[in-house]
């Protein structure tokens, strides 16, 4: 399980701040946040210092 902070959402996905440095583009994850739940593909991950952000594309 990965805990994170939901930064923003769109009609196609969301962006989250978390601490998983091994999350890579292409991985499929299950998610649950205030906007819904389901599966999503990691589009990108950016690591800056001790912060990790990722963008996710929600799968239908």
What pLDDT is stored for residue 21 in this prediction?
95
Q: Which stretches does DSSP call E strand in the chain? A: 4-9, 13-18, 28-33, 36-48, 51-59
| Domains detected in the chain | 4-59 (2.40.10.220)
What pLDDT is stored for residue 2 in this prediction?
81
C-beta neighbour count of 52 within 10 angstroms: 19
- The fraction of the chain above a pLDDT of 90, given in percent, is 87
Mean pLDDT, all residues of the chain: 94
How large is the average pLDDT for residues 8-20? 95
Per the confidence metrics, is the pTM higher than 0.95? no
Residues in a beta bridge with 1: none
| Selection from 19, 12, 4 nearest residue 57 by Cα | 12
């Amino acid at each position: 399980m990965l805990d994170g902070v939901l930064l923003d959402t769109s009609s196609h996905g969301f962006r989250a701040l978390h601490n998983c440095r091994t999350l890579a583009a292409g991985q499929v994850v299950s998610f649950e946040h205030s906007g819904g739940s389901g599966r999503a593909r990691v589009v990108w991950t950016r690591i800056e210092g001790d912060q990790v952000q990722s963008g996710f594309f929600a799968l239908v």
